[in-house]
């Protein structure tokens, strides 16, 4: 818009009011409020304003005119200008500009991206705003002397996209640079392949129409130069990979690819200079392009699943409200906190550091660390952990530990160490690659030898043709594509898989270790059994509704829907029970010991029940009425409805199922019996370190070991296992450690995961067989000298297309639309 | 006259390459329309679910494809008529020459404007402007799928110089089917950027963005020149056995086919 153009002055040209591209100098209309680069844009502008849909333009103008009034969350974002913040998140660029990345909320469609990327036109001093839609981030390049980061943040906020610092600044930038380089390589490979293809059209046309020799030489030389660029720049990764594979003596798919590319280039070059023979450069460059595209697709997909976990971490607080000496609060980045500081944490916010409450009382949701969603009461003197959420009222907290020293931080380090120590999974395609190299090289040697006897001139020609035709392009494409399709389908079914290796491992049955609490069971205390009348339960609930204790709540919940009598004079003695008066009669809910002490013994029926409850690992309470003990209630963690069926389904698919829990061994035995797990495979009372050790021991046998769990106590075990699966509702720590995450509760998604992985691997194997079959036929044709450049150029994309359609056809996971949470 | 494969393939490749290169322009101009087209739900409601968007995307793009192809078909027909008239007047492939010349002219005008020269500009007819407004207004009122489809259909009505450069090229083929093909290939070239609009268009273009208008103008000139000069020798090579005279290439055709007994182009 014109106003911006004058403000921004000489440094940039006038931007088109509609599309934002520069307006040609010859079309700039001095003094006009709108500027257009072409008739199209001016007509488009007219349509949009004419239809009353000019909110893009209006929003921009409104924000520009009255910036201060436009804030939505009311935040001032002053912490964005803090020195510590700047040193952490803002990077100086060589051209004198500053660069920062912000995480942006509420960006959910193309229009949002469009709007946010228009930032440079709204805000003088911002030179570019680049949105990464998938990660919900915007990368800003701006002039620090003309605009403050807090100003940009306010503007984003005003547009309805509240910004947060992107926590992974440094690492993220590195990855972005790496990403961009990869993309450039793919682009270069594509351009080279396209151009060589064009030249080849001319050469093939010349084969039928007798091309002039001089042009033929010219075209061959041109395609040689382009092929050199393609193989030496984007194609270099395959040679590097092959070299690494040779040095480490581990088979890798890059090796046969590099051999084909290398030999093809070598012999092609010789033929260009000899002026006769096939050159195959179109096949070689296309090969490089296809393979890179396959890798790129896979790379992006794995990144996407990993990032969604990372994003959750990014949303833990980045700022804290520090209370100064005079009691005044100032907003600072969490990195500026030191032990001894006092911070204020309002309701709904998460704690920025570990510490002790010094003022106020509230309820704290610690599910991030424990997976337990029941809030705990907290008051002065209680410890709180970073990342947990303050639910009730404002608290003042004295900071004890920050950053990596916090409980969460330490746990993350353990998890990282466990992940690093785990042996990598050898991928199927790489296992095949080893045999592949040996076979192809032998056949090539035989072909060369045989043709040396038949017609020595043709020997190198046919051997080279064979190596190129046998290049496992389809093989290299099949695995990434099939895996990508499977991961995408799984995500739609509510299952997040971080990498293809996990899929491959899950397809091979082995030992499946299940956590008990929250995985096999519901993960919360409830009434699971009762001996005695319903009247007793109603009375018990009437007493317990006044008590804030998990067991009391469970009794109250069990009576949901019943009409409860009113209780008076309720008295609670910790460790013993609850007394009170209901309709003039005295009732109590007591521990079995307290009941026996008070009434000198229980009836044999109740005594049996109490013993049975205890041996099942449940907590027993006795309801005492006016005439003495009347009922016994069992309170415990109920087994999920689908657990037994799912465990059976896993067993049918060849898995051995074991249970591992930190809970009381008796409870573990009871649960394992009810879901059909062998008693020898049910282990109780195991510490988090013990769980990890158990997994490592099991893995020593060499088989696949899958750990399924949900809590922080499972995180180390999840990271140690061949594949760690975090189940719905789990702690973030377990998400970080796991290779897969199920978005729906229970074990049913785990069965789906295993089944989907099996199907995905079947597709991959089918694609591999097709590609190997194609290679065999191609090799035979090449060995017998029946193949020429044109046939090879047609066969190659045809085989890739076959593999592509195979990969997309696969029905690995079925989307569950209805019950997605 | 039916064109041979060796003539059509390079044409397709060139149109595709130019279209991809220039599609940043499409992102800027049609981005807003695309955003309205793929907005789920009725007008004004918040769009939340992303997986419900692909039918809308498809409807929009298929709509565009239809009218683009029709436009190309019509342009090709016009070219055929010009060819016919040209032959009557003793000029071979008049449409091709006309198209090439027109494109070079358009491109040069655009470049001159980039460097700051003020050139007179033909105003858009008032009736056309009103028609566009009326059509889009109608489309915006429709239910989502129909809206996306109609907005797509109406796209070629926007007086976009870039689009019409390709329409001119389509006319240059002098054949309705080939003209339709040119426009269909142009459509394919615009897809990556328009579909990618949601994933950070700026990242894809980077430095290119500032120089975009100049680059597209140069591309128009290049395609125009190539239409005038470059395609002639290829016609000659591929159709060596035919004795059809190719005069379109003029001096340049002489240069390319100099020693050849293969080319009957003189």
Tens-place pLDDT, residues A661-698: 877 788 888 888 889 898 889 998 887 778 888 998 88
Q: How far is CA A514 from CA A144, A604, A662, A670, in A?
A: 54, 37, 12, 15
Q: Check A64, A282, A365, A515 and give the catalytic one.
A: A515
Residue indicated by tokens 């003539």: B7
- What pLDDT shows up at residue B136? 79
> How far is Cα B88 from Cα A397, in angstroms, rounded to an integer?
94
Nearest residue of chain A to residue B158 (CA atoms):
A40
pLDDT at A190 over 50: yes
Summarize the confidence of residues A602-606 as an average pLDDT.
84
- What pLDDT shows up at residue A645? 93
Residue indicated by tokens 């040095």: A247
Q: Which residue has the higher pLDDT, B153 or B248?
A: B153
Under the banding of pLDDT at 50, 70 and 90, the label for residue B70 is very high
Under the banding of pLDDT at 50, 70 and 90, the label for residue A355 is very high
B240 — contact with chain A (CB < 8 Å)?
yes
Q: Is there a contact between A521 and A671 (Cβ–Cβ < 8 Å)?
A: yes
> How far is Cα B184 from Cα B156, in angstroms, rounded to an integer?
13
Nearest to A295 by CA among A505, A497, A499, A479: A479
Within chain B, what is the greatest distance between any pair of CA atoms?
Answer: 69
Q: Which residue has the higher pLDDT, A730 or A28?
A: A28
> Does the beta-carbon distance from A210 to B240 stay under 8 Å?
yes
Most confident of A118-127, A165-174, B196-205: A118-127
Most confident of A641-645, A698-702, A815-819: A641-645
Q: Is there a contact between A432 and A392 (Cβ–Cβ < 8 Å)?
A: no
- What pLDDT shows up at residue A317? 65
Q: How large is the C-alpha radius of gyration of chain B?
A: 20
CA distance A201 to chain B (A): 8
Mean pLDDT of chain B: 72
CA distance B118 to chain A (A): 5
Under the banding of pLDDT at 50, 70 and 90, the label for residue B185 is very high
For A33, other C-beta atoms within 10 Å of its C-beta total: 9
- What pLDDT shows up at residue A53? 61
- What pLDDT shows up at residue B113? 83
Contact residues, chain B, for A16 at CB < 8 Å: 28
Angle between helices A748-783 and A789-809 (to 10 degrees): 170
Least confident of A531-540, A592-601, B37-46: B37-46
Nearest residue of chain A to residue B212 (CA atoms):
A21
Summarize the confidence of residues B193-220 as an average pLDDT.
63
> Does the beta-carbon distance from A25 to B115 stay under 8 Å?
yes
Under the banding of pLDDT at 50, 70 and 90, the label for residue B40 is low
CA distance A796 to chain B (A): 19
- What pLDDT shows up at residue A70? 32
CA distance A18 to chain B (A): 7
Q: What order of strands is seen across the sheet that includes strand A362-365?
A: A376-378, A362-365, A389-390
> Does the beta-carbon distance from B132 to A47 stay under 8 Å?
yes
Q: Which residue has the higher pLDDT, B67 or B225?
A: B67
Contact residues, chain A, for B161 at CB < 8 Å: 38-40
Most confident of A119-123, A433-437, A710-714, B186-190: B186-190
Under the banding of pLDDT at 50, 70 and 90, the label for residue B43 is very low
Nearest residue of chain B to residue A197 (CA atoms):
B13
- What pLDDT shows up at residue A647? 93
Summarize the confidence of residues B67-94 as an average pLDDT.
86
DSSP conformational letter for A516? I
Under the banding of pLDDT at 50, 70 and 90, the label for residue A592 is confident
CA distance A195 to chain B (A): 10
Under the banding of pLDDT at 50, 70 and 90, the label for residue A106 is low
- What pLDDT shows up at residue A646? 93
Q: Which of B3, B22, B32, B165 to mutate to test the interface with A (most CBs of A within 10 A)?
A: B32
Name which of A13, A38, A51 is nearest B161 (Cβ-Cβ).
A38
Return all residues near B119 (Cβ < 8 A) that are at least 6 apart.
Answer: A26, B109, B112, B113
> Does the beta-carbon distance from A19 to B17 stay under 8 Å?
no
Mean pLDDT of chain A: 77
Contact residues, chain A, for B240 at CB < 8 Å: 209-210
Summarize the confidence of residues A342-371 as an average pLDDT.
79
pLDDT at B241 over 60: no
Under the banding of pLDDT at 50, 70 and 90, the label for residue B248 is very low
pLDDT at A736 over 70: no
CA distance B90 to chain A (A): 29
CA distance B24 to chain A (A): 9
Contact residues, chain B, for A22 at CB < 8 Å: 210, 212-213
> Does the beta-carbon distance from A47 to B199 stay under 8 Å?
no
Name which of B27, B31, B114 is nearest A24 (Cβ-Cβ).
B114
pLDDT at A40 over 50: yes
Q: Which of A17, A36, A109 to mutate to test the interface with B (most CBs of B within 10 A)?
A: A109
- What pLDDT shows up at residue B148? 86
Contact residues, chain A, for B120 at CB < 8 Å: none
Under the banding of pLDDT at 50, 70 and 90, the label for residue B181 is very high
Q: What angle do CA B194, B199, B204 make, to 5 degrees?
A: 75
Q: Is there a contact between B203 and A177 (Cβ–Cβ < 8 Å)?
A: no
Under the banding of pLDDT at 50, 70 and 90, the label for residue A135 is low
> Does the beta-carbon distance from A27 to B121 stay under 8 Å?
yes
> Does the beta-carbon distance from A128 to B140 stay under 8 Å?
no
Chain pair A-B, CB pairs under 8 angstroms? 157
Name which of A42, A51, A194 is nearest B136 (Cβ-Cβ).
A51
- What pLDDT shows up at residue B243? 38
Q: How far is CA A705 from CA A176, A273, A686, A795, in A?
A: 34, 57, 18, 41
Q: What is the pLDDT of residues A241-299, one digit of tens each?
A: 888 878 877 777 788 888 888 988 888 888 888 887 778 888 888 888 888 887 787 67
**pTM value?**
0.51
> How far is Cα A619 from Cα A235, in angstroms, rounded to an integer?
66
pLDDT at A6 over 50: no
Q: What angle do CA A807, A812, A815 make, to 5 degrees?
A: 120
CA distance A160 to chain B (A): 13
Contact residues, chain B, for A43 at CB < 8 Å: 124, 129, 132, 158-159
> How far is Cα A666 from Cα A211, in angstroms, rounded to an integer?
87
pLDDT at A758 over 80: yes
Name which of B39, B161, B210 is nearest A111 (Cβ-Cβ).
B39
Nearest residue of chain A to residue B36 (CA atoms):
A111
* Interfacial B residues in 90-119 facing A (CB < 8 Å): 110, 112-119
Answer yes or no: A515 catalytic. Answer: yes
Percent above pLDDT 70 for chain B = 70
Q: Which of A10, A14, A24 to mutate to test the interface with B (most CBs of B within 10 A)?
A: A24
* Interfacial B residues in 152-191 facing A (CB < 8 Å): 158-163
Name which of B29, B210, B262 is nearest A44 (Cβ-Cβ).
B29
ipTM exceeds 0.90, yes or no: no
Summarize the confidence of residues B123-134 as an average pLDDT.
79
> How far is Cα A668 from Cα A618, in angstroms, rounded to an integer?
10
Q: Is there a contact between A20 and A36 (Cβ–Cβ < 8 Å)?
A: no
> Does the beta-carbon distance from B237 to A209 stay under 8 Å?
yes
* Interfacial B residues in 63-92 facing A (CB < 8 Å): none
- What pLDDT shows up at residue B67? 92
Summarize the confidence of residues A110-132 as an average pLDDT.
76
> Does the beta-carbon distance from B38 to A113 stay under 8 Å?
no
> Does the beta-carbon distance from A51 to B118 stay under 8 Å?
no
- What pLDDT shows up at residue A396? 92
Q: What is the pLDDT of residues A791-818, one digit of tens each?
A: 766 676 677 777 777 776 666 676 544 3
> Does the beta-carbon distance from B13 to A198 stay under 8 Å?
yes
Burial class (CB in 10 A: 0-12, 13-18, 19+), B42: exposed
Summarize the confidence of residues A93-104 as an average pLDDT.
82
Contact residues, chain A, for B162 at CB < 8 Å: 38, 40
Helix (H) or strand (E) holding A525: strand A521-531
> How far is Cα A766 from Cα B65, in angstroms, rounded to an integer?
36
Contact residues, chain A, for B262 at CB < 8 Å: 209-210, 212
Helix (H) or strand (E) holding A178: helix A169-209
Q: Which residue has the higher pLDDT, B74 or B93?
A: B74
- What pLDDT shows up at residue A649? 93
- What pLDDT shows up at residue B66? 92
> How far is Cα A321 from Cα A396, in angstroms, rounded to an integer?
10
């Amino acid at each position: 818009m014109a106003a911006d153009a004058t403000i921004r002055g000489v440094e940039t040209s006038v931007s088109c009011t509609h599309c934002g591209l520069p307006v040609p100098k010859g079309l700039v209309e001095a003094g006009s409020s709108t500027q257009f680069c072409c008739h199209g844009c001016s007509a488009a502008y007219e349509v949009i304003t004419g239809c009353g849909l000019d909110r893009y333009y209006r929003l921009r103008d409104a924000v520009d005119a009255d910036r201060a009034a436009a804030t939505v969350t009311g935040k001032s974002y002053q912490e964005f200008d803090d020195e510590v913040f700047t040193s952490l998140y803002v990077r100086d660029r060589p051209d004198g500009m500053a660069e920062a990345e912000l995480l942006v909320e509420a960006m959910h469609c193309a229009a949002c991206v469009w709007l946010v990327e228009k930032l440079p036109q709204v805000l003088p001093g911002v030179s570019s705003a680049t949105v990464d839609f998938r990660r919900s981030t915007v990368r800003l390049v701006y002039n620090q002397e003309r605009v403050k980061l807090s100003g940009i943040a306010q503007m984003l906020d005003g547009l309805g996209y509240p910004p947060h610092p992107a926590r992974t600044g440094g690492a993220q930038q590195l990855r972005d640079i790496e990403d961009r380089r990869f993309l450039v390589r793919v682009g270069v490979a594509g351009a080279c392949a396209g151009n060589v293809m064009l030249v080849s059209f001319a050469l093939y046309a010349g084969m039928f129409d007798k091309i002039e020799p001089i042009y033929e030489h010219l075209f061959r030389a041109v395609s040689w130069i382009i092929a050199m660029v393609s193989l030496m720049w984007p194609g270099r990764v395959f040679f590097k990979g092959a070299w690494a594979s040779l040095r480490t003596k581990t088979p890798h798919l890059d090796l046969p690819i590099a051999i084909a590319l290398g030999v093809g280039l070598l012999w092609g070059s010789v033929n260009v200079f000899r002026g006769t023979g096939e050159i195959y450069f179109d096949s070689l460059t296309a090969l490089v392009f296809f393979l890179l595209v396959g890798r790129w697709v896979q790379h992006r997909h794995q990144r996407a699943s990993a990032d969604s976990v990372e994003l959750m971490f990014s949303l833990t607080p980045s700022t804290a409200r520090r209370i100064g000496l005079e009691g005044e609060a100032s907003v600072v980045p969490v990195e500026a906190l030191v032990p001894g500081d006092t911070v204020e944490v309002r309701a709904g916010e998460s704690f920025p550091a570990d510490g002790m409450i010094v003022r106020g009382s509230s309820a704290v949701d610690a599910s991030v660390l424990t997976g337990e969603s029941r809030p705990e009461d907290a008051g002065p003197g209680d410890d709180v952990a970073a990342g947990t959420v303050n639910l009730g009222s404002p608290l003042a907290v004295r900071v004890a530990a920050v950053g990596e020293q916090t409980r969460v931080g330490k746990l993350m380090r353990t998890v990282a160490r466990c992940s690093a120590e785990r042996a990598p999974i050898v991928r199927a395609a790489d296992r095949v690659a080893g045999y592949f190299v040996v076979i192809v090289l032998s056949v090539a040697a035989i072909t060369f030898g045989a043709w040396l006897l038949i017609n020595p001139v043709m020997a190198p020609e046919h051997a080279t043709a064979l190596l190129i035709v046998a290049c496992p392009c389809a093989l290299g494409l099949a695995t990434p594509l099939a895996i990508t399709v499977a991961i995408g389908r799984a995500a739609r079914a509510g299952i997040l898989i971080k990498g293809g290796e996990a899929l491959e491992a899950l397809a091979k049955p082995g030992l499946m270790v299940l956590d008990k609490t929250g995985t096999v069971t519901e993960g919360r205390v409830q009434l699971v059994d009762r001996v005695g009348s319903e009247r007793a339960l109603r009375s018990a609930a009437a007493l317990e509704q006044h008590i804030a204790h998990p067991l009391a709540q469970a009794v109250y919940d069990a009576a949901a829907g019943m009409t409860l009598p009113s209780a008076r004079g309720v008295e609670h003695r910790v460790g013993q029970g609850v007394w009170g008066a209901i309709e003039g009669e005295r009732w109590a809910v007591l521990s079995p010991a307290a009941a026996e002490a008070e009434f000198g013994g229980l009836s044999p029926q109740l005594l049996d029940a109490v013993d049975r409850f205890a041996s099942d690992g449940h907590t027993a309470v006795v309801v005492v009425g006016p005439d003495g003990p009347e009922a016994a209630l069992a309170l415990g963690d109920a087994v999920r409805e689908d657990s037994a069926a799912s465990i059976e389904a896993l067993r049918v698919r060849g898995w051995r199922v074991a249970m591992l829990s930190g809970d009381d061994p008796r409870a573990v035995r009871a649960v394992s019996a009810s879901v059909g797990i062998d008693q020898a495979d049910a282990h109780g009372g195991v510490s988090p370190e013990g769980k990890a050790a158990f997994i490592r021991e099991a893995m020593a046998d060499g088989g696949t070991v899958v750990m399924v769990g949900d809590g922080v106590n499972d995180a180390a075990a999840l990271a140690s296992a061949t594949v760690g699966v975090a189940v719905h509702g789990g702690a973030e720590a377990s998400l970080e450690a796991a290779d897969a995450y199920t978005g729906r509760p229970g074990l049913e998604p785990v069965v789906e995961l295993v089944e989907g992985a099996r199907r995905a691997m079947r597709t991959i194997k089918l694609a591999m067989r097709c590609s190997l079959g194609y290679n065999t036929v191609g090799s035979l044709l090449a060995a017998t000298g029946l193949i020429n450049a044109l046939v090879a150029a047609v066969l190659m994309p045809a085989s890739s297309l076959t593999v592509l359609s195979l990969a997309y056809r696969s029905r690995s996971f079925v989307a569950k639309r209805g019950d997605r949470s | 006259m039916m064109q041979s494969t060796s003539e059509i393939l390079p044409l397709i490749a060139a149109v595709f390459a130019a279209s991809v290169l220039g599609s940043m322009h499409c992102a800027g101009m049609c981005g807003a329309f695309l955003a309205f087209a793929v907005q789920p739900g009725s007008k004004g409601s918040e769009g939340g679910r992303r997986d419900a968007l692909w039918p809308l995307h498809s409807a929009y793009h298929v709509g565009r494809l239809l009218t683009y192809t029709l436009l190309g078909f019509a342009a090709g027909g016009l070219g055929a008529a010009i060819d016919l008239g040209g032959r009557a007047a003793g000029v071979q492939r008049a449409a091709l020459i006309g198209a090439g010349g027109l494109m070079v002219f358009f491109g040069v005008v655009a470049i001159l404007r980039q460097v700051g020269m003020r050139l007179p500009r033909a105003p858009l007819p008032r009736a056309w402007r009103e028609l566009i407004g009326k059509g889009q207004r109608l489309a915006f009122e429709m239910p989502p799928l129909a809206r996306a489809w109609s907005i797509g259909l109406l796209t070629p009505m926007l007086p976009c110089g870039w689009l019409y450069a390709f329409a001119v090229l389509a006319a240059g083929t002098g054949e309705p089917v080939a003209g339709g093909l040119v426009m269909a290939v142009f459509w394919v070239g615009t897809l990556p950027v328009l579909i990618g609009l949601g994933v950070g268009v700026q990242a894809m273009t980077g430095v290119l963005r500032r120089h975009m208008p100049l680059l597209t103008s140069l591309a128009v000139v290049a395609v125009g020149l190539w239409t005038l000069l470059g395609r002639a020798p290829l016609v000659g090579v591929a159709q060596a056995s035919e004795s059809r005279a190719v005069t379109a290439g003029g001096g340049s055709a002489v240069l390319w086919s100099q020693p050849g007994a293969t080319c009957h182009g003189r």
